[in-house]
Chains A and B, each alone.
Chain A
């Protein structure tokens, strides 16, 4: 079993829908990252969080340390949000990043 599991693997939705991507992990962490990988491959860091909730524009990330679970939400989704969203956790034992396999999101106009 992977140490970081994302769901769903693929998600297709209509423009305007509320999107939720989930990430569960099984190791002790010091932080959790959400990243966005564009179709060309470039990766952009969206959030780094260790507790609670963060919001940036239409993106919201939450984390529940006790349940070892995080969610990334996109409100009023738009076709330009189409990308692969990746969850990564920083291990609190060796501080290296452990990566989820990503969620491929397609927003249709």
Chain B
């Protein structure tokens, strides 16, 4: 069966520090991969999606970047965190753009 792993679960980072969140999927090949952010009291916002290795689409211009070095690995990064980067980050995968999405457990990031 397919599983998705996302870590860490919680993270407290100072302003200006770098960020790296990792997401891996098991049990499937060539999935669509997604990074979402949920700011406090708001809905989920799509940040990046990828349909294949090295293929990244950015939905919202900001301080973050994403990479897909391997088929089932999706990384969310920042060189210098801002206070406004605080939030709940979710990784998800789907077979394709039309099918159900499955979510990781999320990372709660607090930038201080």
Residue contact A95 to B98, C-beta cutoff 8 Å: yes
**Contact call B43/A33, Cβ cutoff below 8 A:** no
Complex Cα spacing A99 to B59, Å: 14
| A42-75 Cβ-contact flags toward B at 8 Å (1 or 0) | 1111001000000000000000000000000000
User: Is A101's CB under 8 angstroms from B43's CB?
Assistant: yes
Binds A, one of B17-25, B62-70, B72-80, B103-111: B103-111
Complex CA gap A92/B59 in Å reads 17
SS class, residues of chain B in contact with chain A: loop
Return B15 CB to nearest CB of chain A, in Å.
Answer: 23
Cross-interface CB contact of B98 among A4, A30, A86, A102, cutoff 8 Å: A30
Please give the residue numbers on chain B whose beta carbons come within 8 Å of chain A beta carbons, in ascending order. Answer: 41-46, 49, 59, 88, 90, 97-106, 108
* 24 A-B interface contacts by CB (under 8 A): A4-B43, A31-B98, A35-B103, A40-B105, A41-B105, A41-B108, A42-B105, A43-B90, A44-B103, A45-B100, A48-B99, A86-B44, A88-B44, A95-B97, A95-B98, A96-B46, A96-B49, A96-B59, A97-B44, A97-B46, A99-B43, A99-B44, A101-B41, A102-B43
**A residues engaging B (CB < 8 A)?**
2, 4, 30-31, 33, 35, 40-45, 48, 86, 88, 90, 95-97, 99-102
